[in-house]
Structure 1
């Protein structure tokens, strides 16, 4: 059976592959929910088995704390995603050429790259114990791989195979990405902060989708996302935490407003249906 590169696939394949190759919104939601449950389960199991390694008051206090709290569940998630994508033989499709983007879409990777550079030179690496920075960067690359393969890879592919327009693909994949972060509520995060995080991550999801389109390959969203998150963690000292680095560091102050720009980009992109749809 032949497979199309970006959208629909003949439904002659049966069984496991045939089920997923039909695509659709509900299958995209299903794979995201199942992944989130398994990821949270892996995180709970790791924190239970290796509770002594986690510094609850400061996850970034030691390399072991970062690894168990952040990297370990991501390693499990990455293995699950690799197995899932491999079982469907979708790696060539997910990492193949994407529908052509338009020039204005370069705004998205630029909005991600600028704060990455600012934080790269603005983070006080000396404030962290030996090994913490390296472990955090490793965990960040795992975040980029896992979240982009899931949301801009598998979810996007399922939506396309279900016949969705690229505008719908952008919106739904970004919503899935944003709602995955609502799981922060399970960690005791305040409801208002959870809502703000979901809104922000929707805008960031749109930026990653546009990056996928304009660069033409999933590798670039993975790399940008994989650099953005760990540098944000190191600049704020936490996960999904907003901190004011301006009192001592101008570069971190300049990086802060880009979170608002991601939200603005998400809102603007909602009104660019024709410009988003593939040519």
Structure 2
């Protein structure tokens, strides 16, 4: 894809398009995972449960999102900011989160991690691509067509957190899901800061995948006390992110150029 082709939007960003993609993603993930008959809280019981309960839905969602992004012509604005934040120092927040993920991996007893489980869990790395592309990629692009960057951060982060409530419908307890939703809001802020300070969604995708994989690894490989320390560090990073996010929002001008999009919005996205 050439630079000029990447910048040419096929469909003008509209809020409803981003919300439709978000809702369709949640619905498809739920439908596929629910159809597997494997409860969310039993994914860690076996490699088969993990792959068929979670992995297949992520593989299908990855393909559908790639098709949708191509049809919209939104790869460029979804993946890259025109201008990174003037303030780069808040990048220390995602660095702390990355350190927490490395702590999880370093503290995992890999001898207790079956090879089949490891292979199945690699599919979970796709969650960084799918959830980031949906929330801080396509939804972000759609919201930027109408809203200021402060609202863009808040709405994308809030919806990212709320999508984790689907786990309750898949068998997770409400008591276990509520802290996960709160942590997701903090984590979403960390990923947003990483996008703004680097100007690229790629790094947020990688960090998101690394963190989720490391958390799952600690559950299978018996990480012990280091996992608790890493979790606290990750939450601290998120709380610091809430205080720093204003600096990467301030002065941003990432609204898609209307001149690069057609006046007709007849084309639509389908996830």
TM-score (norm 2): 0.81
1:190-201 equivalences under 5 Å are 190-201=173-184
State the aligned residue count.
249
2:19 to 29, 37, 45: 29
Structure 1: unaligned runs, 5 residues or longer: 10-16, 49-53
2:195 to 199, 212, 230: 212
Tell me what 2:108 maps to: 123
Tell me what 1:255 maps to: 230
1:171-182 equivalences under 5 Å are 171-182=154-165
Tell me what 1:13 maps to: none
Q: SS of the residue aligned with 1:120?
A: helix
Q: Over aligned residues, Cα RMSD in angstroms?
A: 2.8
Following the alignment from structure 2 to structure 1, what is the Cα–Cα distance between the partners of residues 171 and 244?
32
Following the alignment from structure 1 to structure 2, what is the Cα–Cα distance between the partners of residues 121 and 278?
37
- The offset of 1:145, in angstroms, is 0.6
When residues 80 and 4 of structure 1 are mapped into structure 2, their CA distance, relative to the original with a 3 A threshold, is: closer
Q: SS of the residue aligned with 2:96?
A: helix
Following the alignment from structure 2 to structure 1, what is the Cα–Cα distance between the partners of residues 172 and 17?
29
Tell me what 1:245 maps to: 224
- The offset of 1:98, in angstroms, is 4.2
Q: SS of the residue aligned with 1:256?
A: helix
Q: SS of the residue aligned with 1:257?
A: helix
- The offset of 1:103, in angstroms, is 2.2
When residues 198 and 262 of structure 1 are mapped into structure 2, their CA distance, relative to the original with a 3 A threshold, is: farther
Tell me what 1:158 maps to: 142
Following the alignment from structure 2 to structure 1, what is the Cα–Cα distance between the partners of residues 40 and 99?
31
Following the alignment from structure 2 to structure 1, what is the Cα–Cα distance between the partners of residues 41 and 204?
31
Cα distance per residue 1:135-182 (max 9 Å; x no partner): 21x2232001101111111011001112x2221111111011001101
- The offset of 1:200, in angstroms, is 1.0
Following the alignment from structure 1 to structure 2, what is the Cα–Cα distance between the partners of residues 275 and 87?
29
Following the alignment from structure 2 to structure 1, what is the Cα–Cα distance between the partners of residues 165 and 234?
17
Matched, 1:86 2:77: no
When residues 141 and 252 of structure 1 are mapped into structure 2, their CA distance, relative to the original with a 3 A threshold, is: same
Cα distance per residue 1:58-106 (max 9 Å; x no partner): 4234332221112101111111111110111212332334432212321
Following the alignment from structure 2 to structure 1, what is the Cα–Cα distance between the partners of residues 180 and 55?
21
- The offset of 1:4, in angstroms, is 10
- The offset of 1:275, in angstroms, is 4.9
- Kept in 2, the 8 Å contact 1:140–1:227? The answer is no
Relative contact order higher in (CA < 8 Å, ≥ 6 apart): 2
- Kept in 2, the 8 Å contact 1:203–1:267? The answer is yes
- Kept in 1, the 8 Å contact 2:93–2:241? The answer is no
